[in-house]
Amino acid sequence: MATSKIFRKDILKDKVAFVTGGGSGICKGMAEAMIRHGAKAVITSRSQEKLDKAAEEMRKQTGGEILAVAADVRKPEEIVNVVEKAIERFGKIDILVNGAAGNFLAPAETLSYRAFRTVIEIDLLGTYNTTKACFPYLKRSKGCIINVSATLHYQSTLYQSHVSAAKAGIDALSRNLAAEWGPYSIRVNSIAPGPIAGTEGVAKLLPSFAAESATRNIPLQRMGTISDVEQATIFLASDAASFITGQIIVVDGGESLRKVGVLPYPESVINPTNFSKKLSVKL
Ligand code: NAP
Ligand code: COA
């Protein structure tokens, strides 16, 4: 259901949202939803071309104001540049969404040192870098942060050791910053989506042979939608959540309550070559 059927149209009027990973998938949805409810948005990721296309689509959909500037969240100087451009254009930042992330299925056994580091650098350090760069402005605006986490690390998820470690780190960072920055009236929360249909994450992580059983294992009996995450975003970004900080809103239809591994165990051990082909895992 569209957020506009539930929340007031101007609930985020005049707010400025800064969204990493905002050129595609879930975070594009989060940015667009906030614009629909009155915010202006800054979207950033590595590809300027992708951002420009996304910004154009969002302008058409919402008529809102969007600034699109490329940066790699692993490089603090690039993120600082986007923050400076955001301040030049809009004068403030009220809402930070840390959504930029990288992932692929890979058994820990074959993951290279650099592969593990890459995911930690994008997800965890990228979240810290962006948060740090935005902090002075969030302090001024008494703003809020929404980190995009996951549920992979609540128990364990095969072939996701790198991302599980990164997202667990993001959850720890969120709680600590919520405590440290509460006195500045900065709220820090996370959204932990389950499998969200039609996204790069699902395309990469949920092979088609496992999709049906994965859906059957979700208590609410469906995959999530980007719109499900948008609803949680508008709630957390708005004054409806003004006394909520340090929390993780799990948007997964109950999947993490009864996580059942949908990817096979023994095949990777018994027949690694075949396993690799089936999951497109680089071994
Ligand atoms: P997505 O569309 O691929 O989003 C990831 C975004 O991060 C892309 O826009 C990408 O853009 C950007 N990005 C990657 N590396 C970057 C870097 N070094 N610097 C700056 N930006 C970078 O995938 P998605 O599935 O919608 O995932 C969005 C978020 O939801 C992620 O945090 C993911 O972990 C989380 N999540 C997704 C699911 C799911 O079911 N899809 C489930 C749980 C959690 P560029 O390529 O232009 O850099
Ligand atoms: N399996 C195992 N290792 C992999 C891999 C895979 N499928 N894909 C990449 N790697 C390794 C690379 O081999 C490299 O390690 P090496 O130098 O030791 O060989 C390391 O990871 C970095 O890869 P590289 O392609 O240089 O990184 P990048 O910075 O260009 O891209 C990724 C980052 C790998 C995370 C890429 O998948 C990406 O850009 N993802 C963004 C979109 C996304 O993942 N969305 C889903 C979000 S849930």
Convert the pLDDT of each residue in 220-271 to its tens digit.
999 999 999 999 999 999 999 999 999 999 999 999 998 777 787 756 555 5
| 8 A C-beta contact, residue 218 and residue 255 | yes
Tell me the average pLDDT of the chain: 94
Nearest one of 97, 96, 99, 93 to 14, comparing CA atoms: 93
- Give me the mean pLDDT over the 20-43 stretch: 98
> Computed from CA positions of residues 80, 82, 88, 93, in that sequence, does the dihedral angle turn out positive or negative?
negative
CA-CA distance, 160 to 105, in Å (whole number)? Answer: 6
| 8 A C-beta contact, residue 128 and residue 166 | no
Which atom of ligand 2 is least distant from the CA of 204?
A: 46
Counting DSSP H helices and E strands in the chain, the numbers are 11, 7
Give the per-residue pLDDT at 272: 47
- Structural domains of the chain, with CATH: 9-251+261-278 (3.40.50.720)
Which atom of ligand 1 is least distant from the CA of 29?
A: 26
- Angstrom CA distances, 128 to 9, 24, 119, 120, 183, stand at 31, 21, 13, 11, 19
Q: Locate 130 and state its tokens.
A: 């962006």
Q: What percent of the chain has pLDDT over 90?
A: 88
CA-CA distance, 268 to 107, in Å (whole number)? Answer: 8
| 8 A C-beta contact, residue 220 and residue 256 | no
Digit-coded pLDDT (tens) for 130-152? 999 999 999 999 999 999 999 99
| 8 A C-beta contact, residue 28 and residue 22 | yes
Give the per-residue pLDDT at 225: 98
Digit-coded pLDDT (tens) for 65-119? 999 999 999 999 999 999 999 999 999 999 999 999 999 999 999 999 999 999 9
Give the per-residue pLDDT at 261: 76
C-alpha 24 to ligand 1 mean position (Å): 7
Q: What percent of the chain has pLDDT over 70?
A: 94
Residue located via tokens 């992932």 = 103
Ligand 1 atom 48: the closest Cα is on which residue? Answer: 46
CA-CA distance, 80 to 137, in Å (whole number)? Answer: 12
Which atom of ligand 1 is least distant from the CA of 72?
A: 19
pTM (two decimals): 0.95
Question: Among 2-11, 12-21, 50-59, 83-92, whose mean pLDDT is lowest?
Answer: 2-11
CA-CA distance, 282 to 70, in Å (whole number)? Answer: 28
- Give me the mean pLDDT over the 197-205 stretch: 96
Give the per-residue pLDDT at 184: 98
Q: How many CA atoms lie within 13 A of 137 on its CB side?
A: 25
13 has pLDDT over 70: yes
- Ligand closest to Cα of 46 equals 1
Which among 196, 206, 255, 256 is the best mutation to test ligand 1's pocket, defined by most ligand atoms within 8 Å of the CB?
196
Give all strands (DSSP E) within 99-228, no chain letters.
144-148, 187-193
Nearest one of 206, 15, 16, 33 to 105, comparing CA atoms: 206
Give the per-residue pLDDT at 269: 55
CB distance 30 to ligand 1 below 6 Å: no
- Ligand closest to Cα of 47 equals 1
- Give me the mean pLDDT over the 193-213 stretch: 93
C-alpha 99 to ligand 1 mean position (Å): 6
Q: What SS3 class is residue 142? A: coil
Split at pLDDT 50, 70, 90, the class of 273 is: low
CA-CA distance, 34 to 230, in Å (whole number)? Answer: 8
Which atom of ligand 1 is least distant from the CA of 103?
A: 34
CB distance 72 to ligand 1 below 6 Å: yes
Which atom of ligand 1 is least distant from the CA of 22?
A: 9
- Ligand closest to Cα of 152 equals 1
CA-CA distance, 245 to 237, in Å (whole number)? Answer: 11
Split at pLDDT 50, 70, 90, the class of 207 is: confident
| 8 A C-beta contact, residue 33 and residue 9 | no
